[in-house]
Amino acid sequence: MIVERPAASPTTPVEKEKPAKFKVQVSVTVTRKKKQSMKEKVETQLDAFADRFGSNIALQLLGTEIDPSTKRAKTSKEAVLKDWFNKKDVKGEKVVYKAEFTVDTSFGEPGAITILNRHQKEIFLESIVVEGFACGPVHFTCHSWVHSFKDKPNKRIFFSNKPYLPSETPPGLREPRESELKEMRGDGKGERKIHDRVYDYATYNDLGNPDKGFAFVRPIMGGEEKPYPRRCRTGRPQSNTDPEMESRVEYPEPSYVPRDEAFEETKMEMLKEGAVRALLHNLMPLIVASLSPESRDLKGFPDFDNLFKKSVESKLLGKVPLLNKRTNSHGFEMTSSLGKHSPESTPVNIERLQEFPPVSKLDPEEYGPPESAIRGAPHRRSARGHECPKGNQENKLFVLDYHDAYIPFLDRINAQDGRKSYATRTIFFLTQMGTLKPIAIELSLPERTPRGKRVLTPPSDASGNWLWQLAKAHVSANDVGVHQLVNHWLRTHACIEPFILAAHRQMSAMHPIFKLLKPHMRYNMEINAIARQFLVNAGGVIESSFAPGPVSMEISSAYYAHHWRFDQEGLPADLIRRGVAVEDPSEPHGLRMLIPDYPYADDGLLLWSTLQSFVAEYVSVYYTSPAAVQSDAELQSWYAETIASGHADHRHAPWWPPLVTPADLSHILTTVIWLASAQHAALNFGQYPIGAYIPCRPPMLRRLLPAEGDPDYEFFRANPQQYYLSAMPELTRATTFMTVIDTLSTHSADEEYLGERREGWTGDGRAVDLFRGFAAEVRKVEKEIEKRNKDPARRNRCGAGVLPYELMAPSSPPGITCRGVPNSCSI
């Protein structure tokens, strides 16, 4: 600390001595871009020259105490960043700039710092450290864009990394805490600019593009008719033809997200690389398809293998463990892999068969009799060699039931050119080896359709075998659709976004719960905005690759309306709901699994428990009583607004868990973090390794099963393999699908995994210690998963040609690895 004491003066009475002045040093770390466009380079140079003549970056300290004369926080004089000009040519690095304040001893502790950026360009501020105060160094963890004053004249404020509950906010920081939140909430008006930091809600009214014509008209998702979570409001103008719909901005033009939610440079590079790979990946089949009209169909299974082998990035195949192991065998063998069905491919839909025969819950007036056509004992006869119980008293029968998800939409799905779907139900028998064997598949069409229901059992002749393969392919198409539209997109990406919006609007960056949640919100809003641009929009990848086409998002909305319940989204509650586990206090995690070797659930429970313990301990640091939870206005507003505005279509639902006690808070937070991290990872990063080989898991089919008397039955009898291949998606459609799930399954180099956080995320040593313990527990989970994957008794994850289950293994290098649990829905 440098102290400058005023020289003693004979005219200054000693008892009225002025406060001493002293100097404090500030280190400001700014991250510079690695690659700049020509325009950016010019702007950088102009800013550097202008900086020398007063267009600089100015800082001001705010104290934690109130200045009695202004009734506001004590403030220092302005200080400017030095050396900007001298360091103007540094690229792709963290650059530390210095500044110096002179303050007096009555200033107290600094609690915040403001920045006015008089440059033409925004800057990315990493962190600030202020040294020289008696309290020791004060850290400000920023990791944030600071706008140029030409875009907005106001200053940015950053609070020190010391957490404060609202009631404990130092007097000097109370007003800045309020006004910062007010700014983040915005006024709900006008179009958002790219540099804005406003978090607000809107319905999904930008998926369609009525200005492009009737084929691109889509209903609004969100509201009484099509319930849906809310997304971030952009305030774009309405479309020309429908005032209810927002106009679109097409990729790669950016769609608004608050500035700090946007992808950082490393992540952008990964996406661009993915786009290039997608382009090249598609090139070969597009050329082939353009040469011959017949080539839109596949001639043989090797055509699919070639999609990998001829891809420009030949390493791709090697990066995918499942394909690496299995493409050595003939492709067709892969199509029968559902015969050795394991719960991983549909980890969150498999249910214990709780009622036999299965019954539809749809309105019988509209959709016909609810009973399944699987009657009598076909499931027992077909279990061949296995002792199959009557009914399901021994919990040996499980079901994948997509009947109700698809039946209401089948007429519209099958009216599309070249798409044919059933609503499927598949019954599985749990073998003594712990694997699930399909023993009956029911294929349903709308009630009035001839041959509306068809039941197949494992084949005993050649024709039966081909029909069985086709039936399994239809199950797969149903499964892939629900996986993407419901389990992955809706239940993680879309349902988390309202929690993120409300967190930024209602909880200060100083709030300890905001600090806990911050890494679990990273990139979610940006990837959701990109998804609205080219994945879930009218004519987007989902519609073009998946069987439901234009009704895709309506299927997603129907699930949200009738099935989604936040209180059942945590892992234990979900397992109990599906009947695959029962409560048993004597078992680890308090659950007895009815599928003894269920990798998703087994590993997931390890992570869930680890997370739950950490969150509970963290919460207990800040909340020691229910009164503390109930009186925290920011926390209560966060949760209340998430429900009332973010999940507005369920705002009156009785199932929202209360937020009254510290235990309630822990449970809500554990569920949110679980969905954003482990649940998303389990559903996202296996998409390419498990789903890219189209004959194994087609996302759509072009033909129904043939039946005697049908015009194409003779074609099927004469050449069943070609019939099968002609039912698969066309070459170009298949490769579009492959390339997108390739990118979605890729970890970028800047990924942050469970058990990792940025340095300085909190200034509270108790929280830092707890997190260190959590990280150690996460590493133990990883070791246990490694051990499990080598255990030959676990046949669903260990064995000849069996893919080890690593989707819940927390760490991963960059790339497609089929493992790694990022903190957030980052892709």
Q: Which amino acid is at 778?
A: V
Find all residues with CB under 8 Å of 322, minimum gap 6, and list them: 689, 690, 693, 803, 818
Indicate the DSSP class of residue 560.
H
**Which CB sits closer to Fe ion, 164 or 685?**
685
State the catalytic residue, choosing from 143, 504, 680, 747: 680
Q: Cβ of residue 322: shortest distance to Fe ion, in angstroms?
A: 19
Contact, 749 vs 270, CB < 8 A? Answer: yes
Q: How far is CA 440 from CA 332, 398, 700, 791, in A?
A: 21, 11, 21, 30
Q: Cβ of residue 742: shortest distance to Fe ion, in angstroms?
A: 13
Q: How far is CA 219 from CA 225, 235, 402, 527, 676, in A?
A: 9, 18, 23, 22, 27
**Which CB sits closer to Fe ion, 122 or 273?**
273
CA distance 311 to 285: 10
**Which CB sits closer to Fe ion, 221 or 701?**
221
Q: Cβ of residue 386: shortest distance to Fe ion, in angstroms?
A: 37
Backbone torsions φ then ψ of 415, nearest 5 degrees: -75, -15
Residue 572 preceded by cis peptide, ω within 30? no
* CA proximity to 594, closest of 440, 400, 437, 430: 430
**Which residue, judged by CB position, is nearest to Fe ion in the bound state?**
684
**Which CB sits closer to Fe ion, 66 or 740?**
740
**Which CB sits closer to Fe ion, 457 or 684?**
684
CB-count burial class (<10 Å; 0-12, 13-18, 19+) for 490: buried
Q: Cβ of residue 530: shortest distance to Fe ion, in angstroms?
A: 11
Find all residues with CB under 8 Å of 266, minimum gap 6, and list them: 748, 749, 750
Q: Cβ of residue 567: shortest distance to Fe ion, in angstroms?
A: 23
CB-count burial class (<10 Å; 0-12, 13-18, 19+) for 819: buried
Contact, 485 vs 542, CB < 8 A? Answer: yes
CA distance 698 to 733: 11
**Which CB sits closer to Fe ion, 489 or 771?**
489
**Which CB sits closer to Fe ion, 407 or 673?**
673
684 is an active site residue: yes
Greatest C-alpha distance within the chain: 117
Q: Report residue 21 CA to chain centroid gap.
A: 51
Q: Cβ of residue 231: shortest distance to Fe ion, in angstroms?
A: 15
Residue 471 has a CB neighbour count (10 Å cut-off) of 25
Cα angle value 638/642/645 (rounded, 5°): 120
Q: Cβ of residue 493: shortest distance to Fe ion, in angstroms?
A: 6
CA distance 441 to 425: 6
State the catalytic residue, choosing from 147, 281, 379, 493: 493
520 is an active site residue: no
Is residue 320 left, alpha or beta, with left meaning phi > 0 and alpha meaning psi from -120 to 50? Answer: beta
CB-count burial class (<10 Å; 0-12, 13-18, 19+) for 223: middle
State the catalytic residue, choosing from 478, 528, 684, 823: 684
Q: Which amino acid is at 665?
A: L
Find all residues with CB under 8 Å of 405, minimum gap 6, and list them: 423, 478, 482, 486, 555, 558, 559
CA distance 544 to 549: 6
**Which CB sits closer to Fe ion, 64 or 684?**
684
Q: Cβ of residue 412: shortest distance to Fe ion, in angstroms?
A: 27
State the catalytic residue, choosing from 220, 439, 690, 827: 827
HSE-up of residue 501 (Cα within 13 Å, Cβ side): 31
680 is an active site residue: yes
**Which CB sits closer to Fe ion, 557 or 684?**
684
* Interacting residue ranges for Fe ion, rule: CB under 5 A: 684
**Which CB sits closer to Fe ion, 138 or 683?**
683
Q: Which amino acid is at 90?
A: V
474 is an active site residue: no
Q: Cβ of residue 522: shortest distance to Fe ion, in angstroms?
A: 13
Q: Cβ of residue 494: shortest distance to Fe ion, in angstroms?
A: 11
306 is an active site residue: no
**Which CB sits closer to Fe ion, 422 or 523?**
523
Q: Cβ of residue 682: shortest distance to Fe ion, in angstroms?
A: 11
Indicate the DSSP class of residue 678.
I
Residue positions annotated with a catalytic role: 488, 493, 680, 684, 827
